[in-house]
Structure 1
Amino acid sequence: MINNLKVRSKMFILVLVMLLSILFIALFNARQSDKTYQDSIRAMRETLYGDYDTQIKNQVNCVISLIQSIYDKQEKGIYTEQEAKQLATDLVREMRYGEEGYFWIDTYEGDNIVLLGSETEGTNRMNAEDVNGYKMIQDIIKNGQNKDGGFTEYYFPKEGETEASPKRAYSKAFEPYKWVIGTGNYTDDLEELAIEKTAAQKANYLKTQKIVFIIVTITLIVLAFLAIIILNSITKPLKSSIKLLKLMSEGDYTITIPESYLNRKDDFGDLGMAIKLMKDKTQSLVGHVKDDCDELTEIAATINTNVSQLNSQIEEISATTEELAASMQETAATSDELSASSEEINQSVEIIANQTKDGAKKADEISQRANDTQISVEKAKEKTSSMQEKIKADLLAALEQANVVNQIYELSESIMQITDQTNLLALNASIEAARAGEAGKGFAVVANEIGHLAEESKNTVIKIQNVTEEVTSAVTNLSDNSSHLIEFVSTDINDDYNTFMEVAYAYKEDAAYISQLVNDFNHASQELSGTIHTMMTSIQEISHAANEGAEGTTNIAGRCVDSLAQSNKILEETTHSKENSENLKKEISYFKIS
């Protein structure tokens, strides 16, 4: 239960117990002093009463000795019994001691013989009573008949007074006359004498009691004053500490701890320093948390903005990669068409080669039939002209279709630009992911994967460009050779046919030359067929690469969609983090630090 009391109450109880203890000790000492004083009065009374008893006993014994001497004289015959008794009563009646001491004599039967010569003499007072109904004469006579006499206490009025006062009497019998001689004195006089004799002691006792009372009073006042000072020195700083702690518990850390409190050298000074240290530490901690919350809120807002921008860029990349996939698919389709055209060109070249073989045979026949060559030459001229036009048209169509390779190069350049842009976006995404820290690790992996795919696409495009350049070079060579061939057919052969017709008879000598020329043309056609076959292989590789590129860009688009989903998840997490930061900031705002 005492643990539930306040410190002020505990101190008050402690001080109250101390004061009550001192007061109890003082009262106990006063009681003991009063007991000692009463014991001394009692001892004084006993001494006075003892002296008084001895005195009245001696006085009575003196009277008995006097009567005994008279009785002895009576025995000797000097006095008669009557004379002796008369002398004895006269002497006793006149005898005094002290101021008011006198004697009386009663017979065993209660008849009074001597009593100051009063009217009581000669009367029987055996049944006399005091104011309390006490028959004191009977006891006086009875006690007096004891061997050594006896004492009797009763109440009896003083001379000239009506009010009874306490009196103590001593009586002793004188056996020869059967008298009981007695004397006594009022005990209130003894009390007054005892008080008078103990007056100095009483004065000393009262003085001592007064001094003790003053000392105790001063002690109690001083202790109470010191207790109040000590209590205030404890409760005031304790209340201040409680007030400070309550304010701090309410979140107010703007309070200032008084220097007088901190400069104390006692436990409360240590408590004040501890509270100040706790206040400063908590204030610093709350300040840092507030700053971190603000910074976290800004970072979350920045991440939200960046992730939103990244989502837009990923959507653009996804759309671009889809367009790129469509373009790559178109490129693959065009490559297939180019491959089919190359196949047709190859077939035409094979026809040309076969025809050159036939021309060689005919040249041999011309050589053998020189005389009949004119008609054959005319027919050959017509056939050659017709073939020239056909070959020219086929070559021009093939060359026109071969220009598709340039379009492939241009498309590869576009793909190269797209891959460069993808690399740039992947780099930006990696930078933003690094800024995001732990939350951007997943996005960083996706950005690295996009960069890796863009790098692979770039390498594939470079390979496509290299193959395209080779195909372009081959097509250029084919175009040059075809141009030369067409030019050759359109000019030289026609002129030769015209000349041959003019010099038909001289053609026989030139037949061998024509045969060799046709064989060379056949060889060139075979080389052209090989070149076209190589071009067809390159075009097929281009088509395959385009298909792979389309598949890769499709995968990129799919991964962009996955990245977009991850980015949206990151956006949700950052939004949640921002909300948590706002909530934490709201909670921290409970504390006042400035």
Structure 2
Amino acid sequence: MTRPIRQLTAVIEQTAKLDFRPTKEGGKLRKQKDEIGNMATKIHIMRKKLREMMGDLQQTQQVLESNAEDLNHLMKQNSAYAEDNSAATQELAAGMEETSANAAHIVENVGIMRESSDNIQRLAEDGEKNSGQIQERAGEMERISTESRHKTDQMYAVMKQKTDAAVEQAKSVQKINALTDNIKQISSQTNLLALNANIEAARAGEAGRGFAVVASKIGDLATQTLDTVSTIDEIVGEVNSSVSNMTECLTTIMEFLEQTVLGDYEHFAQVGEQYHADADTFQQIMQQTKEAVDALEQHIGEISSTVSEINSMVEQSTDGISGIAEKSGSTQNLVTEGYDKLQECTQSVNVIRDFVAQFHLD
């Protein structure tokens, strides 16, 4: 009787030591049909249930331990990713802020470009107006040069006609030279006749005295005529010299008019035509410049509108990225908190493992 009790006590002591491994003594005791056998059976059922529970707990501990390791690995990766995402988001936010500042700077520069374009447009409009005035003045200059040239041509033609007539009239002075030569010859012949008459009168004596007086008077007249003719020759020489000088002056004036004045008026007319053509070209250039500036103004307006839209989108993106950065920081904090909780779970699993390790099931 005592032996079965000792054996049953040994089983209970084994159970107290958390040793649930089957024993031969326990099997024998369960076969007994008495109270010891009944107690041994109940203890066996209890040990079996405890062994099954501990087996399930051990499996759960192993699963938890494995999952904890996997989760620990995942949390580390997630934490690394969260840190990378947070850093990248912060860099992206900083980049977007810089982009926003650059976009604002571009908008400011576009505004300056628009002001410059407006100034250029005003200058182009003023240039176009001035080119019209220059064109009018060039046309007036061309008209005046043409009229002056026509008047000078007419005056030159009249002066040439009168000069030619005066030169022809001056040639009549040469006829006076011929007449004085004839008078000289007549006077010489008259003197010769008077001399002959005096000789004949001297031969005639008293009868030829009256004829001698007449011959002497005729000789005196011939002498006076020669003196007068000499004076006329001197005057005619002076007249010829004056006429020659006048003819030379008129010729010089006509040559100056023909070679210089008319040429200058022709040059002035050409300059006026070229000035008028240049004014037309300048007006066309200013018109094209104004059209180009108008197109540039339109393009600058479109660029300004587009850059403003981009700046607005960049600001919205910056706000969104800043929110993402904040959420990334919050996510990282949550990941860190989850990692801390995981560490606590790991510690709990270790406690369970240590607890299960105290049981002997096999």
Contact 1:251 1:591 in 2 (8 A): yes
Cα deviations by residue, 1:195-238 (Å, 9 ceiling, x for unpaired): xxxxxxxxxxxxxxxxxxxxxxxxxxxxxxxxxxxxx3xx6545
Which residue of structure 2 lines up, in the alignment, with residue 361 of structure 1? 129
Select 2:21's aligned residue among 247, 254, 279: 254
Matches within 5 A, 1:498-537: 505=273, 518-519=286-287, 521-537=289-305
Give 1:250 deviation, angstroms. Answer: 1.6
The CA deviation at 1:270 is 5.2
- Residue by residue over 1:529-560, the C-alpha shift from the partner in whole angstroms, topping out at 9 and shown as x without a partner, is 12212212322333333334334333333333
Hey, what does 1:542 align to over in structure 2?
Answer: 310
1:505 aligned counterpart, secondary structure: helix
Give me the whole-angstrom Cα distance separating, in 2, the residues matched to 1:365 and 1:568. Answer: 82
Residue 329 of structure 1 is matched in structure 2 by: 97
Kindly, what percent of the aligned residue pairs are identical? 21
Q: How does 1:328-407 map to 2 (within 5 A)?
A: 328-371=96-139
Contact 1:257 1:276 in 2 (8 A): no
The aligned runs of 1:66-465 (5 Å cut-off) are 232=1, 236-258=3-25, 259-264=27-32, 271-371=39-139
Higher Cα radius of gyration: 1
- Supply the distance in 2 between the matched residues of 1:322 and 1:348 (Cα, whole angstroms): 38
In structure 1, C-alpha distance between the alignment counterparts of 2:73 and 2:86, rounded to whole Å: 20
CA distance in 1, matches of 2:139, 2:280: 16
Q: What residue identity is the alignment partner of 1:536?
A: S
**Equivalent residue number for residue 154 of structure 2:** none
The within-5 A match list for 1:545-564 is 545-564=313-332
Q: Distance in 1 between matches of 2:272 and 2:360?
A: 121
**In the aligned structure 2, how far is the partner of 1:319 from the partner of 1:257?**
67
* Separation in 1, partners of 2:32, 2:291: 118
User: 1:209 matched to which residue of 2?
Assistant: none
Aligned residue type for 1:283: R
Cα RMSD over matched residues? Answer: 3.5
Deviation digits for residues 283-327 of structure 1 (CA, Å, limit 9, x no counterpart): 122122123223323433443444344334333333333322222
Specify the code of the residue in structure 1 equivalent to 2:18: G
Does the 8 A contact of 1:254 with 1:593 survive in 2?
Answer: yes
Matched, 1:591 2:350: no
The alpha-carbon deviation at position 245 of structure 1 amounts to 2.7
For 1:580 and 1:295, the matched residues in 2 are separated by 13
- Aligned residue for 2:50, secondary structure, equals helix
Mark the runs of 5 or more structure 1 residues left unpaired by the alignment: 1-231, 375-501
Contact 2:8 2:29 in 1 (8 A): no
Q: Give the deviation of 1:510 after TM superposition.
A: 9.3
Tell me the CA shift for residue 340 of structure 1: 1.9
Q: Normalized against structure 1, the TM-score is what? A: 0.35
Deviations 1:347-381 (A, max 9, x none): 2222232233223323433442334789xxxxxxx
Structure with a larger share of its residues in helix: 2
Superposed CA offset, 1:74-119 (max 9, x none): xxxxxxxxxxxxxxxxxxxxxxxxxxxxxxxxxxxxxxxxxxxxxx
Counterparts of 2:140 and 2:102, CA distance in 1: 51
Q: Tell me the distance in 2 between the aligned counterparts of 1:252 and 1:371.
A: 128
Q: Distance in 1 between matches of 2:272 and 2:77?
A: 84
Which deviates the most, 505-514 or 567-576? 505-514
How much has 1:251 moved relative to structure 2? 0.3
Judged with a 3 Å threshold, the aligned counterparts in structure 2 of structure 1 residues 270 and 528 are, in CA distance, closer, same or farther, namely farther
Cα pair 2:72 2:342 within 8 Å, conserved: yes
- Tell me if the contact between 1:244 and 1:255 (Cα under 8 Å) persists in the aligned partners: no
Deviations 1:21-45 (A, max 9, x none): xxxxxxxxxxxxxxxxxxxxxxxxx
